[in-house]
C-alpha cells in the first residue's frame, strides 16, 4: 500500500502542478481574446479598416484557454452527471460503479488524447487562414486538454482502486483538491 | 443497429457518467460494434470543430462580463435598486428577488450565475426577514431561469450556432417571454404573499431615495442597452458585443466603481475560463453526437414517427413541449438543444412554424428544465448557496414551476409573444 | 453494393451542388449496376466547413466532398488562383479551362500536398459568378466603393480584392449577414445571385448589384484517393464519367437557377447595373494589386497564375477559332 500511495501522491502533485501552470496561462489567453476582438471593433470604426486576423486569433486563444483549464474543472467535479443512482445502491456497489464510470471516461480520454496527437502531427500541413502559423500549434491544444484530463482521470481511478483494495486507505489519503465537487457549469 | 447508441447513451447517463463522456462513449462504442471504425475520427474532429467557432465565443465573454459585474458588487446595487421600488409591498423581498433576477438577466447569459449572484445575497436576507429558507432558495432558482431568456443568453447563442439562424433575432425574441416569465412569477408571489402573509421588507422609499438607488445602479443597467443597442443598431455582431460587454464591465468595476482590484482579475478570468471550458467541451461533444444522429438516420426515423402521430402543428407542439420538459429534467439545455434541435426544428419549420418561434419554444422549455429535479443545475447551485437540501428546494419550487409551464404554453400557442419584437425590428419576416 | 460512397456538400438541397450530386448518384449507381451506392449528406451533418471536411476526407470518414476555393484555401493555398478576379472572361472560357489540363495539374498538386489522400475529381460551378452588391448606391466603377464595408469570408484573397477596390473587408459569419445588412454593420458583399436570393438579402436592403463578375464560383470536387484507387478500373471509369456528368450539371444548373433569381431580385426592388467595357477595365486595373499579392504571398503563386492565364488565353483563342466557323 505504501508504494501505491507513493505513486498516487506523486501523480497528485504532478496534476496540481500542471493545473496551476494551466491556470496561470489561461487567464492571459482570455485577456488576449478580449483585447483582439475589441481591437477588431476599434479598427473597423476608428480607422475604417478591418483587420483580418483578430477573429481567427481569438478562436485559437479560446481553444487554448479551454485546454488549459479543462483538467482543473474536471478535478473539481464540474463535469455534471446524474448521481441519483449512487444514493440508492449499497456502498460497495456504489464504489464499483464509480470505478466503472472512471474506466469509461478513461477509454474516451485515452482515445481522444492519442487521436489529438496524430492530428497535431498532421497539422503542420495546414496553415491558419489569416496569419502565418501552422495549424498544428492550434491543434496541439486538444492533446494537451485531453492528456491533462487523462492524468486527472488516472488519479481518480487510482483512488477508487485503492479504496477497494486496501483497508484504511481513505484515512491515509492526503487531503486532495477534489474533495469538494462544485458545479461551475453555467447556462 | 447504430441507432442503439441512443438507448446506450441514456443508460450511461442514468448510471452517472458525466454528459460529456456519455455523448462520446455511446456513439463511439456503437460505431466500433458496427465495424464502422473509419467514422471514429469524425467524433474527435467534431469536438474540435464544434468549439472552433466565432459565434460561440460570445459564451465565454458573456460569462466573464457577468462574473466581473457580480464581483464588482454590482448585484448589490441592482438589489437595492429593486428594493427601493418594490421592497415595501407584501412579500417585498420575494418580489425583489424576481426583479433583480430580471435585471441581472440583462447583464448575464447564464441562469447559474444568476442563482449564485442573487442567491448568495438574497437568500440570507430573506431568511432574516422571516421567509423559510427553502422558499427563498426556490424562488431564487425559479426566477434565475429568466437569465438565459432575457438577452444576452448562452443558450440562444448555442441554438443560433447549431441551427444557423441569427443570434440577434433570438435575442430580440427573448425580451417579451423573459419579462412575461418574471411578471408571472411576481403574480404568483403576490397571491402567495396574501395567503401566507409574507413580510414586507422595508418602509416605502421616497422618490428621492429611489433616485439615489437608481443613480447607483444606472451604469450597470446600461449594459443591456449597450449590448442590445449595439447588436440591433448594427454597431457590432453578437460576439463583438459580448467582448464590448467585457470591456464595459472591466472599466466599470475596476476604474469607475472601483469594486474590483486589478490584482483580482487573473482569478476572475480563470474562473470564467473554467466555466466556459466545461460548456465548450459539452458543445463540442454534442456536435459530435449530432454527427452520429445523422449517420444513423435517427432524425429521419424520428421525423417520420412524429408526423405519423399528427400533422397538426399545435397538437405536435403540445406533445413536443411535454417531451422537452421531460428531457430537460435529465439533460442540460445546451446539449439538449444541439442534439435535438436539428432533429425537431426542421419538422416544425416544414409545418409552417417560424424558425425563431420554434427556437423560443425549445430554449425556454429547456431553460426551465434547469430548475427541475433531478438534474437541475440551478437547483444544485441554489442548494449549495443556501445550504438547503436539493429535495426540499425541489418541493418548494413546484408552484413556480407550474406558472412557468403555463408561460411555456403561452409562448408556444401565441407566436406573437416571441415574434412581435424581432418583427418590429425587421429581424424576422 | 460493393462500394458505399459517402458524399458531403455543406450547402442545401436548393444549391447547385445538390443538383450535381443527384446527377452523379444516379449516373454512378445505374452505370455500375448497383455495385456502387452513393449516400448524400447535405448540410453540416458530418462536418461544417472546408478545412473540417477535407480533413474528414483525408481520414476516410467522407469519400466525396465539394468545396469552394475559399473553403480549401487553408489546406491548399494555391487553389485561390480560382478566385483571382477577371482572369476568366465568361462561362465559356471558364468551362473550357476546367474541362482541360488545368484541373489535372491541380489534381497532381493536391495529391502531393495531401500525401496522396485527396484527389481532385473535377471543377464545376456553384452559383454562377460573384458580383459586388450593396445596400447604399449604384456602383459603376471602383471609386464608388471607396470606404464601403464589404463582407468577406476569413481568407486573404477576397480581403485583398476588397481592399484593392478601396473598400474595407469585414468578416461576418454567413448566418449573421442578413442582420448585418439590415443594421448596417456591413454595406455590401460579394456573392452570386442565387446565394443573394436564397438568403433574401434584398429584404435586408441589399438592392444594388453590379455585374462586374469578379470571380467564377468554382466548385472543387474531391474524392478520397485510396477509395478511388481501390476500385477496379471499370468502376473507376464509371466514377470518372459520373464526375463528368456532375460537372456538366453544375455548369448548367446556375444558369437555369439564376433566371428566377434575377426575376426575384428585380421584384424585390433590386437594381442591376451592368458596367460598360470601359468601367470593367477600370475594375480590372484596380484589381492589379491582388495579382501581385497572390504571386508574392502564395507558394508557387506565379506558376499558378501563369497557368490559369495561359489556359484562359488558349481557351479564348479556341473559342475565337470556333466563332470563325460558327458565325459565318
Ligand atoms: Na440574459
Ligand atoms: Na433539469
Cα separation values, C93 from B309, C88, C90, C96, Å: 54, 6, 5, 5
The Cα C33–Cα C28 span in angstroms is 8
pLDDT score, position C247: 98
Q: Cβ contacts (< 8 Å) between A23 and chain B: which residues?
A: 270
Q: How many Cβ atoms are within 10 Å of C282's Cβ, its own excluded?
A: 16
Q: How many Cβ atoms are within 10 Å of B350's Cβ, its own excluded?
A: 12
Q: Is the peptide bond before B374 cis (omega within 30 degrees of 0)?
A: yes
CB B165 within 8 A of CB B355: yes
| pLDDT-derived band at C148, boundaries 50, 70, 90 | very high
| pLDDT-derived band at B200, boundaries 50, 70, 90 | confident
| pLDDT-derived band at A182, boundaries 50, 70, 90 | very low
User: What's the rounded mean pLDDT across residues C91-105?
Assistant: 96
pLDDT at A186 over 50: no
pLDDT score, position A85: 81
pLDDT score, position B72: 64
CB B158 within 8 A of CB B283: yes
pLDDT at A184 over 60: no
* More confident of the two residues A92 and A61: A61
> Domain coordinates of chain B in residue numbers?
53-424
Smallest Cβ–Cβ distance between C74 and the set A50, A122, A129 belongs to A129
| Ligand with an atom nearest the CA of residue B367 | 2
Q: Rounded to the nearest 5°, which phi and psi values hold at B302?
A: -70, -40
pLDDT at A68 over 80: yes
The Cα B175–Cα B197 span in angstroms is 32
pLDDT score, position B309: 85
Q: Rounded to the nearest 5°, which phi and psi values hold at C3?
A: -125, 120
Our CA-based measurement puts residue B5 at a distance from the nearest CA of chain C, in whole angstroms, of 17
CB B224 within 8 A of CB B74: no
Adjacent-strand bridge partners of A46: none
Adjacent-strand bridge partners of C41: C8
| pLDDT-derived band at A130, boundaries 50, 70, 90 | confident
* More confident of the two residues C78 and B296: C78
Query: Separation of C37 CA from ligand 1 center, angstroms?
Result: 48
Q: What angle do CA B349, B352, B356 make, to 5 degrees?
A: 55
C-alpha closest to that of B297 among C10, C63, C11, C39: C39
pTM, rounded to two decimals = 0.86
pLDDT score, position A180: 42
The gap from C-alpha C44 to its chain's centroid, in whole angstroms, comes to: 18
pLDDT score, position C315: 96
Out of B36-50, C220-234, C280-294, C304-318, which region has the weakest mean confidence (pLDDT)?
B36-50
Q: How many Cβ atoms are within 10 Å of A147's Cβ, its own excluded?
A: 19
Nearest CA in chain B to A74: B278
Name the most confidently modeled range: B82-96, B132-146, B220-234, B317-331.
Answer: B132-146
Q: Report chain B's terminal Cα–Cα distance, integer Å.
A: 42
Mutate to test the interface with A, among C79, C151, C168, C297 (most CBs of A within 10 A): C168
The Cα B179–Cα B184 span in angstroms is 9
* More confident of the two residues B33 and B330: B33
The Cα A149–Cα C32 span in angstroms is 49
User: What's the rounded mean pLDDT across residues C49-73?
Assistant: 91
Contact C175 B41 (CB under 8 A): no
The Cα B214–Cα A84 span in angstroms is 45
Contact C46 B295 (CB under 8 A): yes
User: What's the rounded mean pLDDT across residues C69-86?
Assistant: 92
The Cα B17–Cα B27 span in angstroms is 14
The Cα C185–Cα B236 span in angstroms is 6
CB C122 within 8 A of CB C103: yes
Mutate to test the interface with C, among A42, A44, A49, A50 (most CBs of C within 10 A): A50
Query: Separation of A73 CA from ligand 2 center, angstroms?
Result: 21
Structure-derived torsion over alpha carbons of residues B339, B343, B345, B348, reported in degrees to the nearest 10: -150
Contact A129 C170 (CB under 8 A): no
Residue B198 gets which letter from DSSP?
P
Q: How many Cβ atoms are within 10 Å of A91's Cβ, its own excluded?
A: 8
Contact B55 C56 (CB under 8 A): no
pLDDT at C200 over 60: yes
pLDDT score, position A187: 43
Q: What is the DSSP string of C102-161?
A: HHHHHHHHHHHHTTT-EEEEEEEEEEEEEEEEESS----SGGGGTT-EEEE-S-HHHHHH
pLDDT at B177 over 70: yes
Beta strands C208-224 and C118-134, pairing class: antiparallel
Smallest Cβ–Cβ distance between A52 and the set C55, C113, C159 belongs to C159
pLDDT score, position A185: 40
| pLDDT-derived band at C253, boundaries 50, 70, 90 | very high
Name the most confidently modeled range: B361-365, B384-388, C41-45.
Answer: B361-365
Smallest Cβ–Cβ distance between C61 and the set B39, B167, B232 belongs to B39
- Say yes or no: B295 contacts chain C, CB-CB below 8 A: yes
Contact B269 A30 (CB under 8 A): yes
Smallest Cβ–Cβ distance between B38 and the set C44, C60, C173 belongs to C60
Chains B, C: CB pairs < 8 Å: 76
Query: For the segment B3-46, what is each residue's pLDDT rounded down to a tens digit?
Result: 888 899 989 988 989 989 999 999 999 999 988 888 888 888 88
Contact B165 C59 (CB under 8 A): no
Name the most confidently modeled range: B29-33, B193-197, C117-121.
Answer: C117-121
The Cα A92–Cα B422 span in angstroms is 56
User: What's the rounded mean pLDDT across residues B389-411?
Assistant: 92
* More confident of the two residues B220 and B201: B220
| Ligand with an atom nearest the CA of residue B397 | 2
Mutate to test the interface with A, among B10, B12, B17 (most CBs of A within 10 A): B17
Q: What is the DSSP string of B76-122?
A: HHHHHHHHHHHTTSTTHHHHHHHHHHHHHHTT-S-HHHHHHHHHHHH
| Ligand with an atom nearest the CA of residue B105 | 1
Contacts with C324 (C-beta within 8 Å, 6 or more apart), sequence order: none
Mean pLDDT of all residues belonging to chain A: 87
Q: Tell me the Cα Rg of chain B.
A: 21
Q: What is the DSSP string of C164-230?
A: HTT-EEEE--GGGHHHHHHHTS-SEEEE-HHHHHHTTGGGGT--EEEEEEEEEEEEEEEEEHHHHHT
Contacts with C135 (C-beta within 8 Å, 6 or more apart), sequence order: C181, C184, C187, C188, C204, C205, C206, C207, C208
Query: Max alpha carbon distance in chain C (Å)?
Result: 58
pLDDT score, position C79: 95
User: What's the rounded mean pLDDT across residues A150-174?
Assistant: 87
CB C54 within 8 A of CB C118: yes
Our CA-based measurement puts residue C60 at a distance from the nearest CA of chain B, in whole angstroms, of 6
CB C84 within 8 A of CB C294: yes
Contacts with A34 (C-beta within 8 Å, 6 or more apart), sequence order: B61, B64, B243, B246, B247
C-alpha closest to that of B216 among B80, B98, B103, B104: B80
Nearest CA in chain B to A139: B48
The Cα C207–Cα C190 span in angstroms is 13
Amino acid at each position: 500500500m505504501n508504494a501505491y500511495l507513493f505513486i498516487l501522491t506523486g501523480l497528485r502533485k504532478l496534476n496540481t502542478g500542471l493545473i496551476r501552470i494551466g491556470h496561470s496561462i489561461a487567464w492571459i489567453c482570455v485577456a488576449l481574446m478580449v483585447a483582439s476582438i475589441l481591437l477588431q471593433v476599434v479598427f473597423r470604426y476608428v480607422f475604417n479598416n478591418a483587420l483580418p486576423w483578430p477573429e481567427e486569433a481569438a478562436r485559437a486563444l479560446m481553444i487554448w484557454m479551454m485546454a488549459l483549464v479543462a483538467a482543473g474543472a474536471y478535478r473539481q467535479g464540474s463535469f455534471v452527471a446524474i448521481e441519483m443512482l449512487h444514493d440508492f445502491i449499497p456502498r460497495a456497489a456504489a464504489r464499483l460503479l464509480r470505478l466503472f464510470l472512471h474506466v469509461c471516461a478513461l477509454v474516451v480520454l485515452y482515445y481522444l488524447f492519442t487521436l489529438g496527437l496524430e492530428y497535431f502531427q498532421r497539422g503542420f500541413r495546414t496553415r491558419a487562414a489569416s496569419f502565418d502559423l501552422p495549424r498544428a500549434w492550434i491543434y496541439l491544444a486538444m492533446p494537451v486538454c485531453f492528456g491533462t484530463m487523462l492524468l486527472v482521470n488516472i488519479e481518480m481511478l487510482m483512488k477508487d482502486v485503492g479504496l477497494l483494495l486496501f483497508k484504511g486507505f481513505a484515512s491515509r489519503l492526503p487531503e486532495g483538491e477534489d474533495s469538494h465537487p462544485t458545479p461551475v457549469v453555467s447556462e | 443497429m447504430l441507432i442503439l447508441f441512443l438507448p446506450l447513451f441514456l443508460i450511461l447517463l442514468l448510471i452517472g457518467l458525466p454528459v460529456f463522456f456519455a455523448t462520446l462513449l455511446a456513439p463511439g462504442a456503437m460505431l466500433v460494434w458496427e465495424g464502422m471504425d473509419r467514422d471514429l475520427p469524425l467524433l474527435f474532429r467534431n469536438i474540435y470543430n464544434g468549439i472552433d467557432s466565432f459565434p460561440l465565443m460570445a459564451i465565454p465573454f458573456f460569462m466573464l462580463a457577468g462574473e466581473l459585474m457580480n464581483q464588482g458588487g454590482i448585484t448589490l446595487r441592482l438589489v437595492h435598486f429593486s428594493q427601493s421600488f418594490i421592497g415595501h409591498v407584501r412579500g417585498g423581498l420575494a418580489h425583489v428577488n424576481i426583479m433583480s433576477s430580471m435585471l441581472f438577466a440583462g447583464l448575464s447569459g447564464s441562469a447559474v450565475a444568476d442563482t449564485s449572484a442573487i442567491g448568495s445575497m438574497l437568500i440570507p436576507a430573506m431568511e432574516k426577514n422571516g421567509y423559510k429558507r427553502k422558499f427563498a432558495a426556490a424562488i431564487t432558482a425559479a426566477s434565475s431561469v429568466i437569465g438565459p431568456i432575457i438577452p444576452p443568453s448562452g443558450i440562444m447563442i448555442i441554438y443560433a450556432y447549431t441551427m444557423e439562424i441569427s443570434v440577434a433575432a433570438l435575442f430580440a425574441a427573448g425580451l417579451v417571454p423573459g419579462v412575461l416569465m418574471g411578471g408571472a412569477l411576481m403574480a404568483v408571489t403576490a397571491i402567495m404573499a396574501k395567503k401566507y402573509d409574507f413580510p414586507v421588507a422595508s418602509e416605502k422609499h421616497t422618490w428621492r431615495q429611489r433616485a439615489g438607488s437608481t443613480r447607483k445602479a444606472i451604469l450597470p443597467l446600461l449594459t443591456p442597452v449597450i449590448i442590445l443597442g449595439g447588436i440591433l443598431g448594427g454597431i457590432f455582431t453578437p460576439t463583438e458585443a459580448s467582448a464590448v460587454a467585457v470591456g464595459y464591465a472591466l472599466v466599470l468595476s475596476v476604474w469607475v466603481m472601483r469594486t474590483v482590484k486589478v490584482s483580482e482579475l487573473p482569478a476572475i478570468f480563470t474562473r470564467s475560463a473554467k466555466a466556459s471550458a466545461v460548456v465548450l467541451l459539452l458543445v463540442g461533444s454534442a456536435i459530435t453526437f449530432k454527427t452520429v444522429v445523422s449517420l444513423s438516420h435517427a432524425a429521419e426515423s424520428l421525423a417520420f414517427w412524429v408526423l405519423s402521430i399528427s400533422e397538426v402543428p399545435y397538437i405536435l407542439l403540445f406533445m413536443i413541449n411535454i417531451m422537452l420538459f421531460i428531457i430537460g429534467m435529465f439533460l442540460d439545455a445546451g446539449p439538449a438543444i444541439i442534439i435535438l434541435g436539428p432533429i425537431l426544428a426542421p419538422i416544425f419549420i416544414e409545418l409552417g412554424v417560424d424558425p425563431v418561434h420554434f427556437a423560443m419554444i425549445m430554449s425556454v422549455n429547456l431553460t426551465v428544465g434547469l430548475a427541475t429535479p433531478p438534474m437541475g443545475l440551478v437547483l444544485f447551485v441554489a442548494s449549495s448557496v443556501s445550504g438547503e437540501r436539493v429535495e426540499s428546494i425541489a418541493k418548494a419550487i413546484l408552484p413556480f414551476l407550474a406558472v412557468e409551464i403555463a408561460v411555456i404554453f403561452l409562448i408556444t400557442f401565441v407566436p406573437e409573444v416571441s415574434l412581435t419584437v424581432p418583427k418590429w425590428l425587421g429581424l424576422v419576416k | 453494393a460493393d462500394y458505399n460512397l459517402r458524399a458531403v456538400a455543406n450547402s442545401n438541397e436548393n444549391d447547385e451542388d445538390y443538383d450535381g450530386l443527384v446527377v452523379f448518384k444516379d449516373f454512378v449507381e445505374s452505370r455500375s449496376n448497383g455495385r456502387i451506392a452513393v449516400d448524400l449528406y447535405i448540410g453540416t451533418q458530418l462536418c461544417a466547413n472546408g478545412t473540417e471536411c477535407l480533413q474528414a476526407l483525408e481520414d476516410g470518414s467522407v469519400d466525396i466532398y465539394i468545396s469552394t476555393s475559399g473553403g480549401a484555401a487553408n489546406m491548399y493555398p494555391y487553389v485561390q488562383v480560382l478566385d483571382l478576379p477577371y482572369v476568366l472572361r465568361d462561362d465559356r472560357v471558364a468551362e473550357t479551362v476546367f474541362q482541360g489540363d488545368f484541373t489535372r495539374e491541380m489534381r497532381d498538386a493536391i495529391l502531393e500536398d495531401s500525401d496522396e489522400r485527396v484527389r481532385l475529381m473535377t471543377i464545376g460551378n456553384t452559383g454562377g459568378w460573384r458580383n459586388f452588391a450593396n445596400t447604399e448606391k449604384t456602383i459603376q466603377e471602383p471609386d464608388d466603393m471607396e470606404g464601403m464595408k464589404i463582407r468577406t469570408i476569413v481568407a486573404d484573397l477576397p480581403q485583398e480584392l476588397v481592399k484593392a477596390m478601396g473598400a474595407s473587408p469585414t468578416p461576418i459569419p454567413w448566418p449573421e449577414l442578413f442582420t448585418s445588412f439590415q443594421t448596417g454593420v456591413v454595406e455590401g458583399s460579394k456573392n452570386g445571385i442565387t446565394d443573394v436570393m436564397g438568403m433574401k438579402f434584398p429584404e435586408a436592403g441589399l438592392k444594388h448589384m453590379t455585374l462586374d463578375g469578379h470571380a467564377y464560383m468554382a466548385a472543387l470536387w474531391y474524392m478520397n484517393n485510396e477509395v478511388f484507387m481501390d476500385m477496379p478500373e471499370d468502376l473507376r471509369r464509371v466514377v470518372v464519367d459520373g464526375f463528368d456528368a456532375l460537372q456538366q450539371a453544375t455548369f448548367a444548373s446556375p444558369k437555369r437557377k439564376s433566371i428566377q433569381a434575377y426575376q426575384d431580385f428585380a421584384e424585390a426592388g433590386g437594381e442591376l447595373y451592368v458596367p460598360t467595357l470601359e468601367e470593367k477595365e477600370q475594375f480590372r486595373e484596380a484589381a492589379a494589386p491582388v495579382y501581385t499579392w497572390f504571386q508574392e504571398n502564395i507558394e508557387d503563386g506565379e506558376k499558378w497564375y501563369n497557368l490559369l492565364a495561359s489556359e484562359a488565353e488558349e481557351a479564348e483563342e479556341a473559342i475565337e477559332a470556333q466563332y470563325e466557323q460558327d458565325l459565318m
